[in-house]
Structure 1
Amino acid sequence: MDLRTRPYGWRPAAVLALLPLLAACGGGHDEDGPARGAAMRIPSSDGTELVIRTDNGVRLRPADDDRVGVDERVRTDWSHRDGTWVLDLSCPGHDGGSAWADRPDGGRDGGSAGGACPRMPEVTVPAGTAVTVSARNAGIDAAGVSGALDLTTVNGDVTVDRSGARDAVVRLATRNGSVRAGGLLAARLHARTVNGDVVLGCGTAPSGVGAATTNGSVRVTVPHDAPAYRVTATTDNGGPTVSVPTTGAEAGREMTLSTVNGDVTAAAE
């Protein structure tokens, strides 16, 4: 176990349109698909990945079936190649992000389905689908989503609840915001930010954990019966605290936690 302080100088309810589209095999762009609130049935085989791209944020929720559902106020553009399905989200009839509603909860900003877009539209994801999200000017919120997760934004929080998979890699990243997760399932877990806290509550014991920030604290908790870890916990201006088992840790079972300004904690609860 490496515990050290580095010396100074280190530097509401969304309306979902469920219009079943049976996608053709192969790759390409689905130019004839519906422009708003399109739903897509995607294969459930191993290796299938859903990639969501947006200039704002997104809320991920579990789907009731094998279709990806999208808030009908949002314009959708689908494309796919092999096992990767790409969903681009934009605001219909407007350039840039000026028409996105400002409500942080992603709720409706008045009017009908043709009204202002929510800043965090809801996308429902079939069980077992690996999801990659690239967002920019708002947060990412995932709850009850089962599958590998790779969630990245720039200006916003990444919040995850009861999501992931025991055999999956989970990556959570932002730049100006915090990363917070509870009931997280992962075989390997990576989380990072620059300005914000990283707080990870694991529902299982990942074989590897990496968590880092610059201005904020890092806290990782694993179940009380988790096996031993090789822990490296470092901070410049703060204190490291490790209460997970460390004796007899197997090779490859590691936690690497770091910050510059803040505390670092690795705990079993």
Structure 2
Amino acid sequence: MGWKGTIRSLQATSRRIERDAEKRRRELQKQQKAYARMAELEQAEYEVDVWNNYIDVLQSVHKGCGDPVDWLSIARADAPVQPVFFGSKEAQARQAVQNYRPGFLSRLLKIDRKKKQKLNEAVDVAKKDDQDNFDSLYQQWQQDSADHEQQTGIATGILDGEPRARINAIEFFAPFDELSELGSSIHFCIDEISGVLLVTLHVHGGHVIPTEIKSLLKSGKLSVKKMPVGKRNELLQDYICSCVLRVARELLNLLPDDMVIVTAVDELLNTATAIRKSYLFLVWL
């Protein structure tokens, strides 16, 4: 498998086993366009379905994870082959000109010149098509070559134990896009003394965790109630644990590290002082 196939395979693997909750979330997003046309009871059922799915997503972040990455294969992957200009369409068009032999009727009706002219014009069109096709292939080769150089450079750095290469690998594979979609953010750095990867997960629970509970009444109508503080804190705890497990698993599969330190941080409101303050929730080694 060439370098590009290897990279695509690894990227696809990291997203191959999509959780049922995540699949359902994307299906519901597609249905949102038809929401305005739904009847009241259908809208209520849809909103509850979306709410239940969102809770499921928050509690199952850890269930999705990519397979281990073979950095040696990436480092040894062959470079993309530079395209060669063949001009095959032009050659075929010129051959058609050479093979043209006007018949008696064509000469009699004096249409042989027009036919020959069209064949010559077809040569020009074919020549342009060949050039356009080659230009496209060449531009793609230039991009692929740049990507290959970047990716093999990352792989070589990983194998040589370069600290920055680990950060570059995380940025390239972007295994935490789902967390960003939910509203959380992640920052990375390398401890200068131990060389251990330090990860800070900013939960942003105030934005991620819902404040309401949606359900259907026996009548089929929508019920919206304020989520109790205890329930919300329980959901926040589940989400934090799920995220930390996901981050740790992704990094240990992506990098040849034996240990990472993941710290979950969130900013909460102190009801006694009315001041928002950052709190450390969990550390995973």
Is the shorter-chain TM-score for this pair beyond 0.5, marking a shared fold? no
* Structure 1 length-normalised TM: 0.22
Larger radius of gyration: 2
Richer in strand (by share):
1
* Structure 2 length-normalised TM: 0.21
More relative contact order in 1 or in 2 (CA 8 Å, sep 6+)?
Answer: 2
